[in-house]
Amino acid sequence: MKPLPFLPQSCYAFSMQITVTIPDEFAAQVQARGLEPQSFGQSVIDDAVRTAPKPIPPAKPKMDIDEFIRRMSANSDKIPQLPDEAFTRESFYQDHD
């Protein structure tokens, strides 16, 4: 097997035989357009295989821990001081039965 140009070197192409039963209604629609169902299905598969996948966008650069902490604490002086009781399990679920 040979590697495909749009895939990483660790990926390889393989071939397989697929047998598909085409519903009569679909076959009639394809034949009404002057095409043969088998050749139409094969052309759809061939087009899908030839189409290269969309490239994955580059990952955002990782933020270092110092920058993360600076951003998290940027407006910390505006956060009101709350008593410890404000963070109990009961306080989170006081509106639930």
> Which residue would you say has higher pLDDT here, 55 or 7?
55
**36-86 confidence digits (pLDDT tens):** 888 888 888 888 878 777 888 888 788 788 888 888 889 888 888 888 888
**Domain spans of the chain?**
1-52
pTM recorded for the entire structure: 0.32
CA Rg, the chain, in Å? Answer: 29
pLDDT at 22 over 80: no
